[in-house]
Each structure stands twice: as structure tokens, then as C-alpha cells.
Amino acid sequence: MTHPVSPSNRVIRYTLDGASGWYVKEPQRIAYAKLPERLKVEATRMQAIRDNGASEVIHGPSKGGRWQFFTGLIPAGRPGWYFGNDREEQGGRKLNSLLIFQFIDNDRTLIVTYFPGWYVHNREERVKFVRAFADRADRMPPAPIAQTSPLTLFPNNSNGGM
């Protein structure tokens, strides 16, 4: 793969509220505002999203008729693992960030790994990265919630992780 193996990322955990169907963000010592407090998974009705390989979307609450956050859930080829992107505009240019989603405990828990400002544009390379990430994470023993971080999933390479 031609991309860094240790890009900067943030890990955000959500727990499913079975009554509402929303995933609720767990408290964090240092809050991360790029993702909303609640997320919901739904089947997509948009053909363009399905054409990208996602039959489901994940989104935050709507504000002013628009979802605060939205992406397709593209299966990673590993049970419970999906990926998507977050697109934002900074200084007049569009910036993509990779997101990796892991559903565990019979979908009761969602772990989102957000790579701010980092994205693999080549789809084949992106899928390889996500699968390698998932494979490595699946081999790791469970860590206490306060210490769960895939920052250690990819050890620094010879260029310092860049």
C-alpha cells in the first residue's frame, strides 16, 4: 500500500438505545465534536449511495432539514466492519476524512474510528487499508473502555508513521 500505515485518528464509542433506535455517544474525557451525539442506521433510498456499495446509511439528527452528519456504510468484507467518509469544506476546498465503523455485541455497540483530513482516494487501496485495520483489531485482546484506541493498531513505520 502506498499510504501511511499510522495516520492520526480518533475513536468514538456509541451504545444503542434500543427504545429509540439511535446510537448514543459515550462520554469522553476529551470531547470530539466532528461526530454528533446520536447516530442512526437506516436503509438507503438513494441510488447513488447504493451504486457505491452501501445499502445502509448512518446519520446524525437533522438540523434545518439537513442531517448534521451522513455517510453510506460500505461493507468492508469482514463481519461487523464498514467504512465511509466525511466530507467538509475548509478554506474553500473539499476535504475527505475516512471513517471505519465496527458494530459489536450484536450491534449494541458501535465503535467509530475517524481519520480527520486523511483519506485513501484509490478505492482498492482504501478497501485494503480498512480490511488490514479490521484484521489487526480483531486479533487484539479487548481493552478496558478507557484505553480502547486503535492508535496502536499500526506500529510506526520507518518514516515515523507519516
- For the segment 88-122, what is each residue's pLDDT rounded down to a tens digit? 888 889 999 999 999 999 999 999 999 999 999 99
Please state the domain extents for the chain: 10-143
- For the segment 142-162, what is each residue's pLDDT rounded down to a tens digit? 655 544 444 445 544 444 444
pLDDT of residue 31: 83
pLDDT of residue 28: 86
Say how many C-beta atoms besides its own lie within 10 A of residue 159's C-beta.
9
User: Is 148 or 29 the better-scoring residue by pLDDT?
Assistant: 29
Is 75's pLDDT higher than 70? yes
Alpha helices in the chain (DSSP H): 47-51, 123-139
pLDDT of residue 87: 92
By residue count, the chain amounts to 162
